[in-house]
Amino acid sequence: MSTIRVTDEVKERLRDLKRDDESFNDLLDRLSRSEKDVEAIADSLSKLGGDDFAKKTKEAHEELNESLERRTE
């Protein structure tokens, strides 16, 4: 086991993210894994999608942003 130091502000934010059945260790484990998992999924998808994947993703993102802007005007 190791001890890490965080500010009270960071601890409060972590507490807000922590599920009722989680320890802080469980929370940090989940958060650290999820970022890596997202990166791995994105890497896998880009390989499946070929060269056009990034372009198609960017276009879809722009279309979604435009749609959201129209709805909030």
- The string of pLDDT tens digits covering residues 14-54 is 999 999 999 999 988 888 876 667 666 666 666 666 667 77
User: Quick one: 42 and 24 in the same domain?
Assistant: no
Q: What is the pLDDT of residue 63?
A: 85
Q: Are 62 and 70 in contact (CB under 8 A)?
A: no
Amino acid sitting at position 23: S
Q: Are residues 2 and 29 in the same domain?
A: yes
| Residue 49 pLDDT | 63
Q: What is the pTM of this model?
A: 0.47
Q: Which residue range forms the structural domain that includes residue 60?
A: 37-72
Report the domain count for the chain.
2
Q: State residue 20's pLDDT score.
A: 95
Q: Same domain, yes or no, for 23 and 3?
A: yes
Residue 17, C-beta contacts closer than 8 angstroms, at least 6 positions apart: 27, 31
User: What pLDDT was estimated at residue 30?
Assistant: 83
Looking at the fold, whether 29 and 41 belong to one and the same domain comes out as: no
Give the pLDDT score at 8.
93
